[in-house]
Structure 1
């Protein structure tokens, strides 16, 4: 009888331990999911804030990769301290560098899950002036959380420019050929670079036989001829008094392009196109038969982001008050001299190809009726490309005049 009691007690103890382990695993998953959600929200806020800042200064096409910028800034954040770090806390949504690093690692793992019909590549590289040495903690974090390729280079050597640009070209499948221009300033301490590349097939491809020449209405009320693709299919669709929205999925629906088409001027819609509004619209889309007409086009975009990021609160990082004392051993007089982003976008009958590279240069001192709804994208529009699993915005843009695709 005593043996039976002991067996029962042992089983009870094992059961309690198993339950405890399951609960701990669930708590850990919930914690990780919460941290990733914090990162995604900060990334998406950056997407809308940055688009507003850049598009306010130009009437031309704008195409950005907030995800590429967010990751590049995360690399930099590991070297920041003091007021500079506090300003980046607000922008990146974290106050602890380890939390940010672990969240980026978990986000990357979710983002890189195999997706049918979709190729997504993300890579990081760091190019260090060989007269300097990284702080040990900084270098360890770059290896552990970001799988960054770290190279020590002679900044004065003209071949260094080619090394960096060739890395960017290779990791964007040739779509971005150059991110830095030589000769390089000998005061440069390091380049921290993120590259992102996407090649995604539409879930519902456009039939090239339906592509036709049509007019696109420009901001100055003139028109230009574009190649207009067309199809009728069931899509998530939204119509309000001042705009139409549509979700065009890629692959098995793991990623998508969302297009928002103002009915009147795009400038009046600018102020409405915010993260809060965008998040609320996600609940309003409904499955509906839609005849969608979308230009085939190709865009290349380049911007220096220093001023925009200063306007968003990252003020000390770009001047002599910067504190990047956790970056290199030799000096704490390091600041960001330039943040540059180049992007590429091709939209055609088969799908979408998009690429982005971000370089941080651091130096020292619904419609009624029986038929389908009609959405003719023949005037300036907004777009976002999102990962459906995490809701993260990888690319965003405002297209005012779609350039013809290269043949």
Structure 2
């Protein structure tokens, strides 16, 4: 299949306007853009998966909680699991990941390209993407499976006695690959657990035009239950790509050379951000990007905050149709000749920090495998729950998605 430069759901186009009033706080855009070319079918499927995943996640979580996850990290971790799945188990994973119309070669090539090219796409944005597989010494892992993880996912493969030392090493790997933002992904290793698959994604980008700290001040923030609080709000006036419709306003903030962006989604009065994010589909996002966002002079207000989030995804993935892999009889014969394997958990730990200089974000997805013992200045002030997406333009990759209900600066 032909590879194309995709500027779709995971990619929000370059903001070319020179932002006003920030000469001393701007990161001069680089003229060099490193396009990331993946098959269109993979880009489209990945985008559909991202929004379907977030919609189902919201349905399993309390409506008042902050949510922040990485569709890309989850997709890649599940891709490693898919490499060892067979039969109905593999079919369920492929359907949920929107891979039914995608060839194995196209998928593998896309993973390789993202792992190779995302970290070097913008010299002023730091992206780390790493994979690993840890197995219990003595557990018979098929050579074809481990070699595939190395070749396709550039994964580190390590066999260890599953004791306290192994626990420390796995957590250290997560910390090392997220700039110490996620220092623990496992609390313990149980006797029946024989393998862990991990994906780590790290992002740090400076705004193309930074917020001036002199303009940061305490401001009111309206919670969805009608109460209010005070938060630390950053302000900046400039020209940004913006759009609005009957339910929300959207605005994108570029990082560095504009290849990576944060898109803010602010619901209109009387509309809940959860409803907006659940209703948004790939086609809506693509239309927003291609035809609705235009350079507009805007006063932006964005909370300065940090959050850590951890979520077990078994229920969410089950709602998306991935069920057999969690049950006895899971068809994971591609991993091992043992027929009594199942996935005990899929979880994701994330970090998000937003300040005047830019954004730092990290995610680790962990899959545990066990044996069964069986012109006017508009205002865009995020003073109420809002959504956000961090994306890369040319590969159509959504790195992170969030629903910020109650921002807090720690």
- Give the TM-score band, short-chain normalised: 0.7 to 0.9
CA contact (8 A) 2:2 2:39 kept: no
CA contact (8 A) 1:78 1:138 kept: yes
Secondary structure at the residue paired with 2:44?
helix
Q: Which residue of 1 aligns with 2:152?
A: 145
CA contact 2:3–2:39 (8 Å) conserved in 1 = no
**1:249 and 2:254 aligned:** yes
8 A Cα contact 2:301 2:380, kept in partner: yes
1:207 matched to 2:212? The reply is: yes
Looking at structure 1, the residues matched to 203 and 306 of structure 2 have their Cα atoms a distance apart, in angstroms, of 14
Q: Report the CA distance between 1:103 and its aligned residue.
A: 2.2
1:122 aligns with 2:122: no
Distance 2:46 2:369 in 1: 22
Give the superposition deviation at 1:278: 1.5
Map of 1:86 onto structure 2: 91
Q: Name the counterpart of 1:376.
A: 381
The match for 1:287 is 295
Preserved contact between residue 53 and residue 308 of structure 1 (Cα < 8 Å): yes
1: distance between equivalents of 2:5 and 2:58?
36
Contact 2:89 2:325 in 1 (8 A): yes
Q: The residue matched to 2:344 in structure 1 has which SS?
A: strand
Q: 339, 343, 346: which is aligned to 1:336?
A: 343
In structure 2, how many angstroms separate the alpha carbons of the residues matched to 1:69 and 1:271?
Answer: 18
Q: Which runs of 5+ in 2 are unaligned?
A: 7-35
2:245 corresponding residue in structure 1: 240
Which residue pairs with 2:221 in the alignment?
A: 216
Task: Name which of 130, 133, 137 aligns with 2:140.
Answer: 133
CA distance in 1: counterparts of 2:53 and 2:186, whole angstroms: 22
Task: Give the structure-2-normalised TM-score.
Answer: 0.87
1:50 aligns with 2:57: no
Structure 1 residue 98 displacement after superposition: 4.0
CA offset digits 1:311-344 (Å, max 9, x no partner):
1011101001310001023x02211100010000
Deviations 1:86-124 (A, max 9, x none): 111212333554442222112333423340320000011
**CA 193–280 in structure 1, closer or farther in 2 if over 3 Å, else same:** same
Q: Equivalent residue for 1:108?
A: 115
CA shift for structure 1 position 239:
1.5
Which position in structure 2 is the counterpart of 1:39?
42
The answer (yes or no) to whether the contact 2:115–2:130 under 8 Å persists in 1 is no
Tell me, yes or no, if the aligned pair for 2:247 and 2:271 is still in contact at 8 Å.
no
**Within the alignment, does 1:389 sit opposite 2:397 as a pair?**
no
Aligned partner of residue 304 in structure 2, secondary structure: strand
Contact 1:77 1:97 in 2 (8 A): no
Secondary structure at the counterpart of residue 134 of structure 2: strand
Per the alignment, residue 19 of structure 2 pairs with none
For residues 275 and 104 of structure 2, the distance between their equivalents in structure 1, rounded to whole angstroms, comes to: 39
* Higher alpha-carbon Rg: 1
Higher helix share: 1
Q: For the aligned residues, what is the CA RMSD?
A: 1.9
Q: Classify 1:281/1:110 alpha carbon distance in 2 versus 1 (closer, same or farther; 3 Å).
A: same
Q: What SS class does the counterpart of residue 249 from structure 1 fall into? A: strand
Distance 1:34 1:124, change over 3 A: closer
Equivalent residue number for residue 19 of structure 1: none
**Over residues 116-166 of structure 1, what are the superposed CA-to-partner deviations in whole Å (9 max), with x where a residue is unaligned?**
3200000111101112132122111111111111110111x2111101000
Which has the higher mean CA deviation after the structures are superposed, 221-230 or 41-50? 41-50
Partner of residue 407, structure 2: 402
Number of corresponding residues: 372
Post-superposition offset of 1:309: 0.4
Normalised by the length of structure 1, the TM-score is 0.87
Q: For residues 29 and 42 of structure 1, what CA distance do their matches in structure 2 show?
A: 14
- Listed as ranges, the matches of 1:262-341 within 5 Å are 262-263=267-268, 264-266=270-272, 267-282=274-289, 283-329=291-337, 331-341=338-348
Structure 1 distance, partners of 2:280, 2:147, is 40
Rounded to whole Å, the distance in 1 between the matches of 2:124 and 2:350 is 22
Comparing 383-392 and 104-113, the one that deviates more: 104-113
Match of 1:177 in 2: 183
CA contact (8 A) 1:38 1:93 kept: no
The answer on whether the counterparts of 1:39 and 1:104 sit within 8 Å (CA) in structure 2 is no
Q: Deviations over 1:41-86 (max 9, x none)?
A: 2222222122222223212000000100001001111100010011
